Structure 1
Amino acid sequence: MVQPSVKQQIVLAAERLFAVHGLEGVSLRQISAEAGNGNNTAVQYHFGSKERLVQEIFEYRLPDLNERRRLLVARRRPDDLRAWVECHILPVLEQGEQEGSHYLSFVAMLQQHGRRDLFESLPAELAKPTTDFVERIGALLPHLPEPLLGHRIAQVLAFGVHAAAQRERTRTRGGSVLPFAVHVGDLLDGLVGFLRAPLSATTEVVLGESGPSEPALPLYP
């Protein structure tokens, strides 16, 4: 088994600690200690700041997630709403099943604390699969006007992350969870149903009465 590099050990330690305590609840010194590094300045030497360390966590996890998405799209050639949602969300749910992974809890923490800035600074190539997904899903939902279209898609992506994070935390504690296939099927049913739901007369009225607003932007997992 290949021994993780010092930088990789730090990234994984930061992911674990940030997932539990948040960005503000963890010091660079604590991350060094969690990584088993006797040098208290190791994190600052390799990464410089917490913000850069967060970017490194994304850059460590997202290439594999995005490659899995690419393979699913190539294999399944999705042509309907459920298939596209599955190709994008399934890799997120699979990530939460990996032993030692705290990535989904980490992303959920960032979303909960409104750290959109840390998502928006991702390299374009890492964000592209999500922006492409948003465009394709939007084209399949002509009944939804903006800003509701963007809002629903953003909510679906966020809920997928939080559902996976909750399951990830439960598994880490040794708690009981649904069989994975059942969990995936039920979650996809709910997400697709939410996207397809028609606007009620009440929502149409209040939407017409509200002023112009920007569509919600998704937070990348």
Structure 2
Amino acid sequence: MAGRRGNGPRACATRERIITAAERLFAERGVVAVSNRQISEAAGQGNNTAVSYHFGAKEELVRAIVRRHAEPIERARVALLARERGCGSVRDWVGLLVHPVTGHLAELGVPSWYGRFGAQAMADPGLREIMVAESLSTPSMRDVLDGLSSCADLPLAAHLERSEMAGQLMIHMCAERERRLAEGVTTPASTWHAAAVGLVDAITGIWLAPVTPAEHSGSGSAGGSRG
């Protein structure tokens, strides 16, 4: 990792405190709005250059946060794939996409920040590339996406569009549930598992919805846009 200094227990403990503080601040305020100085102070570091000393650029700190969570999510998905090998429906594959993430968020307890951090990072064009590379390009994710592609019979344009819709729904619904839990606000689903079932239902519906032929796509009902 660029900028990493020292591998002793003290240096590792400092990096972990910085990662934890940065994840919370990024989740609550957005990545761009948080300075290295604020992260260092939140991590209890008297040296305001601690972030740059241990991580170099802010992008490397974001990468470290993603990797902290991507690894247990990957292990959970690999285990599910091993148990569910041979599944063939769209819903089966969507479940393999959703449940490892919501299960991990459940294990983090309340409050947690990774769901909101993910939503903030995915909204930034530069950081989005890091999120995709670290959490969406793992071997198990490729297996799931390949399986989903094989049983979702869609034209390429519709496939790409619905993949984006599904990803946005999952990211922002997880972030919103995490926010409500942290604030003690009632959530529609009583547990993360129940929230996952609802997400699987909705995302499956996105993938299985009919595709309007291009020649009819501009002739919607009254009130539809023609622009």
- Distance change >3 Å, CA 18–CA 200, structure 1 → 2: same
Question: What whole-Å deviation, never above 9, does each CA across 1:58-116 have from its counterpart, x for those lacking one?
Answer: 11110100111111111233332111111121121223332242111111112233343
- Distance change >3 Å, CA 94–CA 83, structure 1 → 2: same
3-state SS in 2 of match to 1:96: helix
Aligned AA (1:138): S
- Distance change >3 Å, CA 174–CA 120, structure 1 → 2: closer
Q: Any gaps of 5 or more consecutive residues in structure 2?
A: 1-9, 219-227
Aligned AA (1:145): P
**Structure 1 match to 2:223:** none
1:150 aligns with 2:160: yes
1:176 aligns with 2:186: yes
3-state SS in 1 of match to 2:34: coil
CA distance in 2, matches of 1:171, 1:204: 45
Normalised to the residue count of structure 2, the TM-score between the two structures is 0.81
**Structure 2 match to 1:198:** 210
Shift of 1:161: 1.5
CA distance in 2, matches of 1:46, 1:157: 32
CA distance in 2, matches of 1:69, 1:123: 12
Q: How does 1:22-171 map to 2 (within 5 A)?
A: 22-77=30-85, 78-97=87-106, 98-99=108-109, 100-115=111-126, 116-122=128-134, 127-142=138-153, 144-171=154-181
Contact preservation (8 Å) 2:40, 2:46: yes
- Distance change >3 Å, CA 164–CA 81, structure 1 → 2: same
Shift of 1:21: 1.3
**Structure 2 match to 1:186:** 198
Aligned AA (2:67): E
Question: What whole-Å deviation, never above 9, does each CA across 1:141-186 have from its counterpart, x for those lacking one?
Answer: 12x1112102212221221121111000100111112212432222
Q: Any gaps of 5 or more consecutive residues in structure 1?
A: 208-221
CA distance in 1, matches of 2:205, 2:173: 16
3-state SS in 1 of match to 2:204: helix
Contact preservation (8 Å) 1:96, 1:165: no
Normalised to the residue count of structure 1, the TM-score between the two structures is 0.83
Out of 15-24 and 92-101, give the one that drifted further.
Answer: 92-101
Which entry has the higher C-alpha Rg, 1 or 2?
A: 2
- Distance change >3 Å, CA 151–CA 62, structure 1 → 2: same
Shift of 1:130: 2.6
Contact preservation (8 Å) 1:95, 1:104: no
Question: What whole-Å deviation, never above 9, does each CA across 1:114-151 have from its counterpart, x for those lacking one?
Answer: 34333355499x53333332221111112x11121022
CA distance in 2, matches of 1:174, 1:204: 48
Moved over 6 A (4+): none
Aligned AA (1:183): A
Question: What whole-Å deviation, never above 9, does each CA across 1:8-30 have from its counterpart, x for those lacking one?
Answer: 11111111111111121000010
